[in-house]
């Protein structure tokens, strides 16, 4: 085996740990995006809720069917802001908050060094590629020897963390 996992006390981070990191990142994004989206004038989500609470199910369903393409402000808040935040976190800390919580970081797959702006943008946009075919690009993390999802492969990155020694030893110290 070559690369960061073999020669530097690091291990590749697998599917379930990365799923936990994803949940943390998603919750944080939701806490930021939801209030900002609610402030948008003509927000269809607030209109949808009002129509439902008024018992006008037909109008609520029609509203949701019409509102498929986001407006410019909604696009910035829902798509551009998360991209910028994720890329800036990765540039500064080599990890999103979720990855920091599990002790993981994103590195260049060839050198083990800090990834640059281009690959980090490709990696983020690669999330959409990973989602397209029934999330298979994320499932791939569990199947790949280097634990790379499709977004990692596109960007030339791997997610690593320090190896954990989980050996339990009983008896006097030093044995």
Q: Is 168 helix (H, G, I), strand (E, B) or coil?
A: coil
Containing 163, the helix (H) or strand (E) segment is none
Give the model's confidence band at 5: pLDDT under 50 very low, under 70 low, under 90 confident, else very high. Answer: very low
| Domain annotation covers residue 39 | yes
pLDDT of the residue at 87 = 98
pLDDT of the residue at 3 = 46
Q: What is the C-alpha separation between 49 and 56, in angstroms, rounded?
A: 10
Examine the pLDDT at 103 and tell me if it is beyond 70: yes
| Domain annotation covers residue 175 | no
Are residues 13 and 104 in contact, defined by beta-carbon separation less than 8 angstroms? yes
| Domain annotation covers residue 170 | no
Mean pLDDT of 80-88: 97
pLDDT of the residue at 166 = 65
| Domain annotation covers residue 156 | yes
Q: What is the C-alpha separation between 162 and 5, in angstroms, rounded?
A: 9
First to last CA, the chain: 30
Angstrom CA distances, 12 to 1, 18, 81, stand at 12, 10, 28
| Domain annotation covers residue 46 | yes
| Domain annotation covers residue 129 | yes
Count of domains for the chain = 1
Mean pLDDT of 77-84: 94
Sequence-separated (6 or more) residues with CB below 8 Å from residue 29: 82, 85
| Domain annotation covers residue 171 | no
| Domain annotation covers residue 168 | no
Examine the pLDDT at 1 and tell me if it is beyond 60: no
Q: What is the C-alpha separation between 10 and 104, in angstroms, rounded?
A: 10
Question: For 24-68, how does the pLDDT look when each residue is reduced to its tens digit (9 = 90+)?
Answer: 999 999 999 988 887 876 555 556 566 556 666 666 565 554 455
Question: For 121-173, how does the pLDDT look when each residue is reduced to its tens digit (9 = 90+)?
Answer: 999 999 999 999 999 999 999 999 999 999 999 999 999 999 987 666 677 77
Prediction pTM value: 0.77
Mean pLDDT of 95-119: 97
Q: Which domain holds residue 123?
A: 4-162
């Amino acid at each position: 085996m070559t690369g960061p996992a073999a020669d530097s006390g690091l291990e590749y981070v697998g599917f379930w740990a990365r799923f936990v990191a994803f949940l943390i990142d998603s919750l944080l994004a939701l806490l930021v995006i939801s209030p900002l989206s609610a402030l948008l004038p003509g927000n269809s989500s607030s209109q949808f809720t009002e129509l439902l609470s008024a018992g006008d199910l037909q109008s609520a369903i029609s509203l949701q069917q019409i509102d498929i393409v986001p407006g410019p402000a909604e696009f910035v808040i829902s798509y551009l802001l998360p991209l910028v935040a994720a890329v800036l976190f990765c540039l500064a800390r080599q990890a999103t908050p979720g990855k920091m919580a599990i002790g993981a970081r994103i590195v260049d797959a060839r050198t083990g060094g800090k990834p640059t702006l281009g690959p980090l943008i490709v990696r983020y946009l690669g999330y959409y590629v990973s989602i397209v075919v029934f999330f298979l690009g994320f499932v791939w993390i569990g199947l790949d020897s280097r634990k790379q999802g499709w977004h990692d492969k596109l960007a030339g990155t791997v997610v690593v963390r320090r190896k954990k020694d989980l050996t339990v030893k009983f008896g006097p110290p030093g044995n």
